[in-house]
Amino acid sequence: MTTQAKAKRVAIYVRVSTGEQTTENQRRELLEVAESAGWDVVGVFADEGISGAKGRDRRPQFDAVLKLVTQRKVDLVAAWSVDRLGRSLQHLVETLSELQAAGADLYLHKQALDTTTPAGRAMFGMLGVFAEFEREIIRERVVSGMQRAKAGGRTFGRPKLADGTGERVRALRAQGRSLRQIAQEVGCGLGSVQRALAEAA
């Protein structure tokens, strides 16, 4: 006697960026795919009028999907296209990594990406390489920007206290003044006052 394989539990995620757009086409196509594949649809989660550039905390339905993944209540997340999940390759890889950690898979309809297949898993590995490449490019741009700014005379890091200010801060503290009172009298921030006192400790 053969036992029938358990149907995959799938959460369908759809999103549009503006209120004038509709998620209906995405919803319909993904439900058709689910029916054809024999998936058990746990729910359809829609973020409407929310940009893909927004983080997980600004996309409540996307957050709800990932929580179900973490709770291992879904086996697969299906989305219409890669840009429905996020606007950067790095965001996509982070999402894929979270799914992988929970033993869940991802299906992207337009890109024909299905991590339940060997080809899909290989594509995931390639995406990880490209995401690292993207991070390196961003890092290089930041470093180059800081070098240009330094060459132009801009300084970075915490502002240094003027000569003698540290001694004055410590003297006022010895007189019983509060940190706020010292900051106001010396003309600096609370953080600078705390650093001056810590350096003397």
pTM for this entry: 0.62
> Residue 153 in 3-state DSSP?
coil
Q: Is residue 36 located within the same domain as residue 92?
A: yes
Q: Is residue 20 located within the same domain as residue 103?
A: yes
Q: What is the CATH number of the domain that holds 69?
A: 3.40.50.1390
In a domain, residue 136? The reply is no
Q: Is residue 34 located within the same domain as residue 105?
A: yes
Q: Is residue 38 located within the same domain as residue 112?
A: yes
DSSP state, residue 57: G
Is the CB of residue 105 less than 8 Å from the CB of residue 116?
yes
Identify the domain boundary among 92, 117, 142: 117
The string of pLDDT tens digits covering residues 44-72 is 999 988 877 777 778 899 999 999 999 99
Residue 17 falls in the annotated catalytic set = yes
Identify the domain boundary among 59, 86, 117: 117
Is the CB of residue 172 less than 8 Å from the CB of residue 180?
no
17, 51, 81, 88: the catalytic one is 17
d(CA 165, CA 141): 37
Q: What pLDDT score was predicted for residue 45?
A: 96
Q: Is residue 108 located within the same domain as residue 185?
A: no
In a domain, residue 2? The reply is no
pLDDT bucket at 28, cuts 50 / 70 / 90: very high
Q: Is residue 110 located within the same domain as residue 169?
A: no
The string of pLDDT tens digits covering residues 76-130 is 999 998 888 877 666 777 788 888 889 999 999 988 889 888 988 887 777 767 6
Q: Which domain holds residue 194?
A: 165-200
Q: Is residue 90 located within the same domain as residue 171?
A: no
In a domain, residue 99? The reply is yes
d(CA 4, CA 6): 6
Is the CB of residue 139 less than 8 Å from the CB of residue 148?
no
DSSP result, 82-123: HHHH-SSHHHHHHHHHHHHHTT-EEEETTTTEETTSHHHHHH
In a domain, residue 146? The reply is no
In a domain, residue 143? The reply is no
In a domain, residue 125? The reply is no
